[in-house]
Every structure is written in C-alpha cells, then in structure tokens.
Amino acid sequence: MLANKKILIGVTGSIAAYKIILLTRLLVKEGAEVKIILTKAATDFVSPLVLSTLSKNVVLQELSSNSEWANHVQLGRWADVFLIAPLSCNTLAKLANGICDNLLMATYLSATCPIVLAPAMDEDMWKHPSTKKNLEVVKTYGNSIINVGDGELASGLFGEGRMAEPEEIVAYLKENYFRTTELSGKKVLITAGPTYEAIDPVRFISNHSSGKMGFALTEELFSRGASVTLVTGPTKEKLSFPSIKRINVVSANDMYNACLSEASASDILVMSAAVADYTPVTVEFNKIKKKENDWSIELTKTKDILFSIGQQKRENQFLVGFALETNNERENALQKLRNKNADCIVLNSLNDKDAGFGYDTNKVTLLHKSGETHEFSLKTKKEVAKDIVSFIISKING
C-alpha cells in the first residue's frame, strides 16, 4: 500500500522526536520513499545520522548550506504527503501565523500536497487557549491533525498530549491517503476467528482458529477501498484502521444474528470464521462439578451462516466460503461450494506444512463456481489476503 509512496516528514523540537526513528523504519519497510527535514531544535532530540541512515536519504536542516540551496518548493511538490511529527507548540504557532524562518516552514508554506500534523506537548501546553486557537486556525487551512493520546508525559505527569504512536501514524496515512479505489462504493461483510460455545460459566467448546487470516483479509478489503464490517469471534488480533466496523461476538448463534442483520446490505460476503458446528443443548448456570463416572454433553447443531446467506443471496452479491480439510480436500471443498451456494471457496489443507491455525503463513487454493481453480504457493497471510482480494475483484468486474 505504501510501495513507492513519497512521504516527507518534518520533525520539530519535542521529546517525541525519538518515535520518528521507528516511524521511518516502518515506512521504509513498507516500501515508502522517505525524506526528512529537521528543525534546529529537533536535532537536540534525534540525530540526523540515524534518520538519514534509516531513510536512505540526506536529512535536510537548512535552507542553504555550503552555497547549496535546499529546494523547499520542489520538496513540497515531490511529496504525496507532508507529515509534521512531532509538532511542537512553537511550530504550531508558526504554522498558524505563516512565519517562515526555517526550511520546514518554507516547505510547509509552499507545499501543494496534503499536510498532516501530529502534535506532541505537555498537557498544560496542549490545553492552553492559544494552542487550541492555533489548532483551529491550522485546521481551517486544510491541514489534518492526528489526535494526541493520553499517558505518561515527558514532565513525568500523566495526561493528554502524547504524540500518536508510529504504528498509529502509519495506519492514519494509509487510511486517509493511500487506499486504492478498486472496491470503493462496495460494502463487505466478513467473519473471522473461532466461536466459543459455553458449557458452563467456566468451560467452552472451541477450535484453534487465531483469526489471523480473516483479519488480514479484512484489512486488505478495506485497503482496496471497500467499506468493511468485521464480525469476529474471540481473538487477540487487532485492526489497524479505526474506520473498519468491528462487531465482537462469542458464540455461533451471536455470529449468525450479527451476520444475518448485515448480510442483505453487503455486496461481498466473506465467511472466514471457524464457526462451531455444534453447541451444548443447555448451558449450566453454575460450574459443573466433577462426576464419579464418565460424563457426556448433549450437543445440537448450530445454524450454518454461510449456508443461510447462500440461500438468500442476490444475483449481484459475491459470497466466499472457506474450507479447512484434512482429506479429499478438493472434493470436500467443491461440495461445500455447491451445497452452500457460494461463488468461491478458499481451500486450506491441514496437510500443508506451515499453513493453517496460528501460523503467519498459509497456502490456499481458490475454487470458483465456474470450475476455475487457482493454486497458490505458501505465502504470508497478508500476501494470501492480497491474492484472494485480487481474485474477488477480477470476478466481480469480469
């Protein structure tokens, strides 16, 4: 998503400047081209050598040095986004008033790209009426602000004013400037993770699903422009994009109810959750005590979400199911494709090394209702998500 994107970072004098080291690393790792401007005050907090090494570009500090002129106009036109982070109180005041006394300010005043500000201040400075006023002023100039967080501040006090974390900044830039448009206007409903079927207040029946594949797919669908609702069972996985609607559920029945109320409004439906096929007939209110002899639990079938959605599917909806198989993989997956009226099934085999539950890698075969099949090699779940989403896009456009 960030490959070959040009990001200019202006760093000002704040202790949060140390976070720019990690931010630069994250951006470069994702393929972005990063150039950095430091104000004089910023050099007290972070070394130009560290940042030039990580960004693989000379760090710019002065409008001119050794009779060479840093072309601020060209810099502001080169960038896809100009991020000023951390934004100190002092530079904020300069932005609000158009004071042009260093390279960062000259670049800001001549930039034609979107400008994003990530302030960092002590709570009292952050809450000062002049700061509030300056923030309102810079917003009217069209600049975007990444909200500060709560927590321990450089002063040792706790409160508001911490600069957003590098991962949050990367997610903000991606979400607001670098999503593609292949799926814009499309609504997606996706399920992920396992379900927990309660036996009593202490125990439940579940499976080994980590939710990683479903979460990678959710973020990829969103990155390609779709508006996405994720219905997920219990998982440790987190989403980076706040605009994805996340509905947390526990049981297969909760997941069924959440999905069925969202399904008719969705254009693409991806059922990647490992939903329990059976649930206890009764859930004991109190913890079940150990018995003298063996004990069995009566189970009843859960409602099949993929099947139910397949029954009501409209012509213009695209339904994707998953099949995790251990034997007769293709036959079983094709049977699911037909029985559940899906458009496509993503087949995972538990026999493939390093693929499946808990791994960061996966190996899938896509089976389309037309008979078309695509077998992919072992890849990271993020790369697998890209392949699956590209396949969906090719089918809905084709």
Active site residues: 207
273-297 burial, b if ≥16 CB within 10 A, otherwise e? bbbbeebbeeeeeeeeeeeeeeeeb
Q: From the list 275, 384, 392, 393, which residue makes contact with ligand CTP (rule: CB under 6 A)?
A: 275
The answer to the question of residue 51 lying near ligand CTP (CB under 6 A) is no
Q: How far is CA 102 from CA 10, 52, 72, 238, 327, in A?
A: 11, 19, 10, 40, 67
Nearer to ligand CTP, 19 or 340 (CB): 340
d(CA 167, CA 165): 6
Looking at 40-48, 233-241, 300-308, 366-374, which segment touches ligand CTP (CB under 6 A)?
300-308
What's the closest the beta carbon of residue 232 comes to ligand CTP, in angstroms? Answer: 12
d(CA 79, CA 74): 9
Nearer to ligand CTP, 172 or 322 (CB): 322
The answer to the question of residue 121 lying near ligand CTP (CB under 6 A) is no
The answer to the question of residue 306 lying near ligand CTP (CB under 6 A) is yes
Four-residue CA torsion sign, 161, 170, 25, 101: negative
SS3 content of the chain, % helix, strand, coil (to 5): 35, 25, 40
Residues in the chain: 398
- Give me the 132-171 binding string for ligand CTP, x by CB under 6 A, dash otherwise: ----------------------------------------
The answer to the question of residue 331 lying near ligand CTP (CB under 6 A) is no
From 331, 336, 332, 335, select the one nearest 320 (Cα to Cα). 336
CA dihedral 378, 384, 387, 389 (to 10 degrees): 160
Nearer to ligand CTP, 174 or 336 (CB): 336
d(CA 344, CA 217): 15
What's the closest the beta carbon of residue 320 comes to ligand CTP, in angstroms? Answer: 8
| Angle at CA of residue 316, ends 177 and 389, nearest 5° | 40
Q: From the list 2, 95, 106, 271, which residue makes contact with ligand CTP (rule: CB under 6 A)?
A: 271
Q: From the list 197, 304, 329, 343, which residue makes contact with ligand CTP (rule: CB under 6 A)?
A: 304
The answer to the question of residue 323 lying near ligand CTP (CB under 6 A) is yes
The answer to the question of residue 324 lying near ligand CTP (CB under 6 A) is yes
The answer to the question of residue 329 lying near ligand CTP (CB under 6 A) is no
What's the closest the beta carbon of residue 335 comes to ligand CTP, in angstroms? Answer: 9
Q: Which residues bind ligand CTP (CB under 6 A)?
A: 191, 252, 271, 273, 275, 277, 302, 304-306, 321-324, 336
